[in-house]
A and B are shown apart, each in its own frame.
Chain A
C-alpha cells in the first residue's frame, strides 16, 4: 500500500546529523555503499567505474557548502565565511510524498517504526518517487532498473546476530567524529530527541511540508577571526614568562 500508514506507533527511527562536527571525510558514504551493496535488495551498481564517465548509485552523499554572512565577503569585517560539510540521506519523512506517488505499492512507510523502504520486487523503475522527493534521497539503479534509497540499515538495527554496538546504521557506526546519531525521535526521552531540543535541531525544507524525521544540528557559532586577532602578536608580549625564558628575557633586555 502506498497510502501512508494510518495506525502509526509513536516510534520514529531516524538520524540526527551534527553539522558542527562533520569534517566531510566521506567515510559514511563509503561504509554505506559497502554495507548496502551486499545487503538489502539488489547491489548498488556503478557505471563505467574505471572509465572516463564514472557514475554510480549511492544512498548517502556529502555536499560541502560555503556560508557567507552579510558583509562577510571581506575577511574578518562582519563575520567570516565558513565551510559546512553536509551529509544527506533519506529523511524518512512522516508525510513522505515519494510513498504516495508510487503506482505499484513498491514504496512504503512502515507503521511500526516509520522507516521508508522500497520493495524492489514490485518496483517498475518509473522514477516518479525520485521526482517527488525534494531532498534527492532516491537514486535509480541503472543496472537493476529499480529505485534505491536509504533503508536506515533495517538489516542491521534489528539484527540480533550483530553485537549491540553494531546495531546502528552503517554510516553512524563508521563516523569517526560522531557527527551522525541514530535513535527513536518519537520518544522525547531518547538521546537523539534530547540532543535535538538542546541544540535546536531543524528540518530541511520545512516549506515542502514533508515533516522529515531526520534532524540536523546547526553549526555552533565560532570566534570571529577579527576577535582573535589581538592574541596573535603574542611574540611581542613576554609577560608571564617564567624560569629560563624569564631570565633570558631580562638578560636580553639589559643588553
Chain B
C-alpha cells in the first residue's frame, strides 16, 4: 500500500496526543504545575495537527463534515465522531487545569475512554479491511493502542521531568509490551499465506497456474500507485532496525537514564530526547505498516 505522508503523520501524532490525553485523564500530572498545563496544550496540539494532516489526502476536503454521518457502518466515520467528541472532555480538563489548577476525575475518566476508543477506531479502519491480510487481525488495534499508551507515558515522564517514578515505569512497561505485540504482529504478517491468489482472483486455477501475460494498461494507474507500492519493501529490513532503535532502544535508554539520575534538568532533557526518538521510530513503523502491506488486487497485476 502507498504510505501517504498525511496518514502517517496523522496516525503518529494523534496516537501520541491521545496517549498523553489518557495519562492526563488518569491524573498522573499535578494540575497546578506549569508543565501539566503545557502537557494539556501539547496533547491538544498533537491531536489537532494530526487531524488536520489527515484532511490533506482527501480529494474534496470541503465536504469532510459528511464523514461524521455513517458511524453505524464505517470505522472511519466512527473515528471522526469519536475524535471530535473527545475534544470536549479534553478541552474542558485542559481549561480546568490551566485556569483553576484542578483535575476533575469524571472528566478525566471520560477523556481516557474517548481517547482509547478513538485510537481503537483509527486502528479498526485498517484492521477491518479483509483485502489486506497483514492488517486483518485483532493484533492491529492492540499494537496501535499499546504504541499510543507507551508514547503517552513517555511523554508524561518528560513533562514530569524525571519526578514521576510510576509514569516512567509504566512507560517502560508499555514500550516493551508494544514491542512484543508488534513483533508477534510482524511475524504473522511475514509468514502468513495470502488468502487470495492469482488463481482465485481469476477463477482459472482449475486449468493451471495463472500468470499475468499482458497488463490492462502500459503505465501506472490509480490502483498500481495506491496498492502496488514497493519502494520501502526493498529497505524493509533496515527500516525495521531503524524503527526498533528509535522507537524502543533509545526511549528505554532515556527512561533508564532518567531513573538513574532521578530528576532534574538532565533527566528531563534525556526524556525529551527519548520522546523525539520514539516519535521518529513510530513514524518509520507506520511507514512500514503501509509500505509492507500487500493488497489482494495485486493478484491481477
Q: Are B76 and A63 in contact (CB under 8 A)?
A: no
- With A103-B74, A124-B66, A209-B130 in contact, is A65–B198 under 8 Å at CB? yes
Q: Are B211 and A68 in contact (CB under 8 A)?
A: yes
With both beta carbons as reference points, the residue of chain B lying nearest to A106 in the complex is identified as B66
Q: Are B59 and A69 in contact (CB under 8 A)?
A: no
Residue among B68, B74, B204, B223 making CB contact with A101, cutoff 8 Å: B74
Which B residues are in CB contact (< 8 Å) with A61? Answer: 216-217
Using A105-B66, A124-B59 as known contacts, list a sample of 11 further A-B pairs with CB atoms less than 8 Å apart, ordered by residue number in A: A63-B300, A97-B129, A105-B70, A124-B58, A131-B1, A135-B297, A136-B223, A205-B201, A207-B200, A218-B204, A218-B206
Give the dominant DSSP class at A's interface: loop
- With A132-B129, A134-B297, A136-B227 in contact, is A2–B70 under 8 Å at CB? yes
Nearest chain B CB to A3's CB is how many angstroms away? 5
With both beta carbons as reference points, the residue of chain B lying nearest to A136 in the complex is identified as B297
Interface size class on chain A is 35 or more
Nearest chain B CB to A214's CB is how many angstroms away? 11
With both beta carbons as reference points, the residue of chain A lying nearest to B76 in the complex is identified as A103
Q: Are B203 and A134 in contact (CB under 8 A)?
A: no
- In the A-B complex, list the 10 residue pairs whose CB atoms are closest, starting with the nearest: A125-B59, A145-B59, A69-B208, A61-B216, A103-B77, A104-B66, A103-B67, A136-B297, A64-B214, A134-B296
Which A residues are in CB contact (< 8 Å) with B297? Answer: 133-136
Name B59-73 residues within 8 Å CB distance of A. 59-61, 63-64, 66-70, 72-73
Q: Are A83 and B222 in contact (CB under 8 A)?
A: no
Kindly state whether residue B182 has any CB partner on chain A within 8 Å. Answer: no
Nearest chain A CB to B252's CB is how many angstroms away? 34
Q: Are A58 and B59 in contact (CB under 8 A)?
A: no
Interface size class on chain B is 35 or more
Q: Are A128 and B64 in contact (CB under 8 A)?
A: no
Nearest chain A CB to B36's CB is how many angstroms away? 35
Provide the A122-146 mask, 1 if CB < 8 A to any CB of B, else 0: 1111111011111110011110111
A141 to B222, CA, bound (A): 8
Q: Are A131 and B129 in contact (CB under 8 A)?
A: yes
Residue among A68, A100, A122, A208 making CB contact with B208, cutoff 8 Å: A68
Nearest chain B CB to A123's CB is how many angstroms away? 7
A109 to B201, CA, bound (A): 23
- With A124-B58, A126-B57, A146-B59 in contact, is A55–B220 under 8 Å at CB? yes
